[in-house]
Amino acid sequence: GAVVSQHPSRVICKSGTSVKIECRSLDFQATTMFWYRQFPKQSLMLMATSNEGSKATYEQGVEKDKFLINHASLTLSTLTVTSAHPEDSSFYICSARTGGQGRNSPLHFGNGTRLTVT
Amino acid sequence: RKEVEQDPGPFNVPEGATVAFNCTYSNSASQSFFWYRQDCRKEPKLLMSVYSSGNEDGRFTAQLNRASQYISLLIRDSKLSDSATYLCVVNPQNDMRFGAGTRLTVKP
């Protein structure tokens, strides 16, 4: 089946530093990838849609200058949390669709990155 | 109103029980629907897609009611391994919107 690999799975950083999270589609090309965030006991919240070769589309309330997204190839999207603060501590998950941008195809998720900012 | 709403749960059921989850969505233009399960501190995994005519996969049955804008998931003969959070997912545009999830605990 389709595999989405996310790295790192866990990161602890100090307040004010930046953290980069990578999301790779291993056996398919993903023109679009999605970045979600999940706080404890809450649902996944879409942060942004990452489009290969163009700018990401951010959801309302998500700061694009704080959460930098780069989708430089069909198999790699990165999310950089800049100047991280403790309130950014969360579970970040990327996902991608197989079947191009077919709306009826399900999402496949990376294994997530648990970020803790001290 | 939230785009996708689910029974908050939690549902605590004995092994072998039948349990049903419901989910409503607000965007009538939504085209595709899914149920995912998420184990504690893990990523969501696709359980099944939901088709207009309803579909079954072993002990799991999913149904869609477009007129009332809700989908359901029925789990028969529940197992301990079914304990997880079940997420209703709706695709209104080219993205996915998740419900808050319903937590299920199956007890021996």
Which chain A residues are Cβ-neighbours of B41 within 8 angstroms? Answer: 91, 114
Which chain B residues are Cβ-neighbours of A93 within 8 angstroms? Answer: 43-44
Residues with pLDDT less than 50, chain A: 101
SS3 letters across chain A = CCCEEEECCEEEECCCCCEEEEEEECCCCCCEEEEEEECCCCCCEEEEEEECCCCCEECCCCCCCCEEEEEEECCEEEEEECCCCHHHCEEEEEEEECCCCCCCCCEEECCCEEEEEC
Taking 80 as the threshold, does the pLDDT of residue B69 lie above it? yes
- Residue B30: predicted pLDDT: 87
Q: What percent of chain B has pLDDT over 70?
A: 95
- A114 and B41 in contact by Cβ < 8 A? yes
- Residue A101: predicted pLDDT: 47
- Residue A72: predicted pLDDT: 82
Q: Which of A49, A41, A21 is nearest to B96 (CA)?
A: A49
- Which of A43, A59, A116 is the mutation pick for testing B, counting most B CBs within 10 A? A43
- Residue A113: predicted pLDDT: 96
| pLDDT tens string A32-53 | 899 999 998 788 888 999 888 8
Contact of A108 with chain B, judged by CB distance below 8 Å, is answered with yes
Tell me the nearest-neighbour CA distance from A15 into chain B, angstroms: 23
Contact of A42 with chain B, judged by CB distance below 8 Å, is answered with yes
